[in-house]
Structure 1
Amino acid sequence: MQGFKRHFLRKKELREILKAFSERLRLSIEDLSLSLKKAEVVETSKSRIILIEGKPRILSVNGELYPTLLFTEVLDRIARVVVDMGAVPHVCNGADVMAPGVVEVDGDFEEGDIVVVVDERNKVPLSIGKALKSSEQIRGTKKGKVVQNIHYVGDSIWKLSKTL
């Protein structure tokens, strides 16, 4: 990862980010159970990572907000797409999720919503993605891309997050 800039956020800025983030996830701000005491932003050439109480919680990519893979409190509350073990290495290399690799859809969502991709054996989060189809469409399809991979285990954001 190239260099990055790090600076503190004002409480007003953090409140605005949390409001937009909670609306995107369809959760209340209280559901996020976050402190408003200390927040920082780490800016890279491709994204912004919002640290709350020193932990990487929110990711901004192309102006859209996503939870990081380390924000487990939120990952447990959003819809999941379960993939077979054959899809795991591809997802962890940044590939989008293809319909043949999906074994289950847990929860209801619309096209464009945020989903977490987990493996079928351990139910471990592998990636955060943007649904390219609704949950109903994914359940009924057998081919094509169904989830755009945004942030995955082992990517540059993951590696940077582990060092912050």
Structure 2
Amino acid sequence: MFKKFSPQGDIVSQVPIKSSVQRSIRLQILEQFPSIEPFIEDILPKKEKWILVKCHGHMNLISINYGQPVFFNLRTGPYFPSLRLLHAYPFLLPRLQVDKGAIRHILKGADIMCPGLTSAGARMDEQLSSNRMVGIFAEGKEHALAIGITKLSTSDIRNVNKGVAVENIHYLNDGLWKLSLGEQQS
């Protein structure tokens, strides 16, 4: 999703978010991520300036004080945490672990294949359905290297063991990771 993302070509506008809209966004995020409630004031502080960054392709980024985006969504779909936010709060998303061989492919934007999640060094500890938002971690690494959406359930990933298991949405060093917002941009 952010493989070829660039601020110059993809950002359409940056506008402050009204407090009434902030409340709505906050509620939606709390519904999606109930475990975040004790930390919500740190992540989405009420007293700070929230910025809606509109991008081509109906992508919306939520930033606080023109800082790094903390959440993003497509059209009116669910909110995804940014990878930086997932690094700070790794419990936000269910965790899937790939083997070391998959790391370089994922960091180039490739989807996560079933064998990368079923081989030695890989782990799928939770039973997950398809179309679930997940954090992709790597064998021997502390932080997530990608965020994706499961295309198959974890039981199907084990049984089929072929094809795409998780669609890669946002990964280390993609356009969103490198994005630096500033108040001077509009």
Distance 1:124 1:37, change over 3 A: same
Q: Tell me the equivalent position of 1:9.
A: 17
The alpha-carbon deviation at position 69 of structure 1 amounts to: 0.3
Q: Residue 131 in 1 paired to residue 141 in 2?
A: no
CA contact (8 A) 2:130 2:150 kept: yes
TM-score, reference length from structure 2 = 0.76
Counting aligned pairs with the same residue, the percent is 29
In the TM superposition, what whole-angstrom CA distance separates every residue of 1:23-70 from its partner, at most 9, and x where no partner exists? 334x15624523122211112214221013534210112433211001
The alpha-carbon deviation at position 3 of structure 1 amounts to: 5.3
C-alpha RMSD of the superposition: 2.1
Q: Tell me the equivalent position of 1:105.
A: 124
Distance 1:60 1:153, change over 3 A: same
TM-score, reference length from structure 1 = 0.85
CA contact (8 A) 2:136 2:148 kept: yes
Distance 1:159 1:93 in 2: 14
Distance 1:115 1:80 in 2: 6
Q: Residue 76 in 1 paired to residue 91 in 2?
A: yes
Higher relative contact order (CA 8 A, sep 6+): 2
Distance 1:153 1:29, change over 3 A: closer
In the TM superposition, what whole-angstrom CA distance separates every residue of 1:105-149 from its partner, at most 9, and x where no partner exists? 133432111100011111321111111122333344421211111
In the TM superposition, what whole-angstrom CA distance separates every residue of 1:81-103 from its partner, at most 9, and x where no partner exists? 10111111111111111010111
Deviating beyond 6 angstroms after TM superposition, the runs of 4 or more aligned structure 1 residues are none
Q: Whose strand fraction is larger, Structure 1's or Structure 2's?
A: 1
Question: How many residue pairs are counted as aligned between the two chains?
Answer: 161
Gaps of 5+ in 2: 1-5, 182-186
Distance 1:23 1:58 in 2: 14
Distance 1:82 1:31 in 2: 26
Gaps of 5+ in 1: none
Q: Whose helix fraction is larger, Structure 1's or Structure 2's?
A: 2
CA contact (8 A) 2:60 2:75 kept: no
